[in-house]
A and B are shown apart, each in its own frame.
Chain A
């Protein structure tokens, strides 16, 4: 069966520090991969998606970037964190087309 792992579960970082969140999927090949952010009291917003290695699409302009160095690995990064980057970050995967997305347990990021 397919599983998705995100780490770390929680992270506290100072403003201006770098960020790297990692997501890996097991049990499937060539999945579509997604990064969402859930800000406090708000819904989920799609940040990035990827349909293959090295293929990254951004949904909203922001301080973050994403990379997919391997088929089942998706990384969310920032060179300098802002206070507004705080939130709950969720990674998800899906197969082709309009199939449901399956989510990891998320990373709660707090910026001080």
Chain B
């Protein structure tokens, strides 16, 4: 069975602060994929990143960066210099490498960035 835990249900920061969203996962698979999705107030799910389990290199995309630590089963997401437009619910998700490839989502972290 797979499980994704996002212990932070809600985070509030002031604009320009850095913020890290935690994600811890459980899986018996040796190879898998990890994802982050953003859900703005409008409700849609916006893909942010996909990471292979065999690639532990951290990734940076603009103000976003991701830290994948296989040893601790964590895939944390950092927003640098947060902006009001970053306010959303962020979901971490896990997918096996097998037929179906369905996503198991964490409970989400609601990020509120105040001006």
To the question of whether A and B form a pair in one complex, the answer is no
> Measuring CB to CB, which residues of chain A are less than 8 angstroms from any residue of chain B?
none
